[in-house]
Chains A and B, each alone.
Chain A
Amino acid sequence: MTHKQKILYFIYLHRTGLTVTGLSITLLLYPLYENNPYTLGLTNLIAINAIVVLGLNLFIGYAGQISLGHAAFFGLGAYGSAIATVTFEISPWPAMFLVAVIVALVALLVGIPILRLSGHYLAMATLGLSFVVHAILLQWDEVTGGPSGFSGIPYLSFGSFQFDDEIRLHYLLWGFTLISLLLCLNLVRSGVGRGLSALSGDEVAAEALGVNTRNAKIKIFVLSAVLASVAGSLFAHCYSFVSPDSFDIFASTDMVIMVVIGGMGSIWGSLFGAALITLLPEWMDLFETYKDFVHGGILVVILLFLPQGLVTGLVDMVKIKLALRRQKDAAT
């Protein structure tokens, strides 16, 4: 091998690690270049959404299931942290952990019966979950503050160091996002991850390969719920205020749209999807007003032409083109 080939091979072999390192360095230096609080606020929101989307993409993209209810877990995480820290005066970090455990239990209890369903039926069941949680947040005034929301949530802090401005939050939130990203990347590159892709391809075949499909679905559902809950807690501590509107059915569908844009089973695509949908309303006023129409339109167009999702679909197309060309070269 020549020197150049060696370097290229090294890059190819360590492509995942190198990309993660590159992204981390970029994010580390980003506040030096951009210190406008408004812009940082936006990228912080991307970070929060990305955590939810990463988990949801494991469930939808890798395991091949569908959930229209992840805003429920997001909301439970946010309100859980709010209630635990303000009403019960538990300090934020243990509260976040405690809430994640409780949400995991809720997801387990909900998941065991509803993951027997598939396709449209599973979509309806998770949609129902979203409605129930939203209704509880809206109606149970004494605990949740009802439609006017819940305010006065403390910032996260280490000792006297408070995560209270955008730059500090940038590091906190993207730190969490990068950790989630790494965990997800590791998961999909393992035997468990391959079991999940087998499961989304064909359940009978997956069983024949030794995958416990029922347990795998429940586990990945719980994992994605925990990620959504952690993101919810961060959301609450980041804005010190939560209201039921952030966790309604449209929030759930927005998350699914982010997954679809990122593409089924693409961890990197999840970041892209979260970024694009979070930024769209900022780029054009039109999107702000007719947000739901635009999102619905995007969803329909993508699913019509690239059922695997935007990023994955395009990447697949390129891969197939390249392989076909090589096949032709080999034949001639």
Chain B
Amino acid sequence: MLQLEQVSKNFGGLPALSDVSFTVPKGKLTALIGPNGAGKSTLVNCVTGVLEPSSGKIYFQQQQLNNLPAHKISRLGISRTFQNLKIFPRLTVLDNILTGLTREGGDSMLLAMLRLPDLRHRERQLKLRALESLDRFGLADKANWPVGILAYGDKKRVELARATVGQPQLILLDEPVAGLNSEETAAVGQQLRLMRSSGHTMLLIEHDMELVMDIADQVVVLDSGRCIATGTPDEIRRNPLVLEAYLGRMDATA
């Protein structure tokens, strides 16, 4: 579904990604791991159009994503969450979820200002879908709270709900459990498992090895901007290169 061909990104002369190639198959959960500074977030930013790759090609369902602005890429059906939470603290929980349905709310400012009956009808439907999604993430009783006062774990779930409410084709999750305790991590893991079984395609970026090894169908390992291994969790666990670059070092410190 998502295909990267020799993607490179240089910041000044410094290579953050060099010749990274892999594919994210449809309906599977692909995990992207790697030590800090390996280029994981840079890669997500290249795919979502926040950054422009220096060279290489990115395809999404046979369409090339290079040179497309971020909002167009989003409209193709790629949604994402952010490593350091980008929710809108002043809006209510429900409105935050509704922003995830922006592309279905209509683009025309004029029609929005007139608010004709069909728009009212659509607004009601969007609201229902948002409430449904809140229900799935166990936030329904907090729908009208300003999101700023929620606990960190709830905020993470709001962002997850916002990313999934629009039924995107591909979801990029940038460290969805960073900063959560083990209980909350387990809850998010359960949520991701549910999403995978309902057929969502996901690219998960995560440091939590236990979670990754548990739920990923395929694991891609980045180290210093290079893709050093691709395979199932079991293969990755046994791959000497990975052990050296990443897991080995973790074992030594742990």
Listed in ascending order, the chain A residues whose CB lies under 8 Å from chain B are: 183-184, 186-187, 189-195, 197-198, 201-202, 204-213, 219-220, 223, 265, 308, 316, 319-320, 323-324, 327, 330
Contact = CB atoms under 8 A, between A and B. Distances in A.
Given A192-B108, A209-B102, 20 more contacts: A187-B109, A187-B113, A189-B115, A189-B123, A190-B106, A191-B104, A191-B107, A192-B105, A194-B102, A197-B95, A201-B87, A201-B89, A206-B99, A209-B74, A210-B103, A211-B71, A211-B102, A219-B109, A223-B109, A319-B146
Contact of B74 (A207, A220, A327): A207
A195 B90 contact: no
B70 interface: yes
B98 interface: yes
B238 interface: no
Given A190-B105, A191-B106, A316 B146 contact: yes
Interface in B83-126: 86-91, 95, 98-109, 112-115, 119, 123, 126
Nearest to A185: B115
A96 to B, nearest CB: 19
Nearest to A198: B99
A191 B112 contact: yes
Contact of A190 (B50, B91, B100, B123): B123
B73 to A, nearest CB: 9
Contact of A308 (B70, B90, B103): B90
A194 B88 CA distance: 11
B149 interface: yes
19 contacts: A190-B112, A191-B105, A191-B106, A191-B112, A192-B106, A195-B99, A197-B90, A197-B99, A201-B90, A204-B50, A207-B69, A208-B70, A208-B74, A208-B82, A209-B79, A210-B75, A212-B69, A219-B109, A330-B141
B99 A194 contact: yes
Most buried by B among A195, A210, A223, A265: A210
B80 interface: yes
| Pairs of residues from A and B, 4 with the lowest C-beta to C-beta distance, nearest first | A191-B105, A190-B112, A207-B70, A201-B88
B233 interface: no
Contacts of A190: 105-106, 112, 115, 119, 123
B164 interface: no
A259 B109 CA distance: 22
Nearest to A323: B145
Contact of A210 (B88, B102, B112, B146): B102
Contacts of A205: 82, 86-88
Contacts of B114: 183, 186
A210 B71 contact: yes
Nearest to B79: A208
Contacts of A327: 145, 149
A186 B115 contact: yes
Nearest to B49: A207
A191 B79 contact: no
Contacts of B80: 208
A198 B102 contact: yes
A213 B90 contact: no
B48 interface: yes
A235 B109 CA distance: 26
Contacts of B82: 204-205, 208
Contact of B113 (A183, A204, A208, A209): A183
B148 interface: yes
B155 to A, nearest CB: 13
A184 B115 CA distance: 11
Interface string B37-71: 00000000000111000000000000000000111
A206 to B, nearest CB: 8
B133 to A, nearest CB: 14
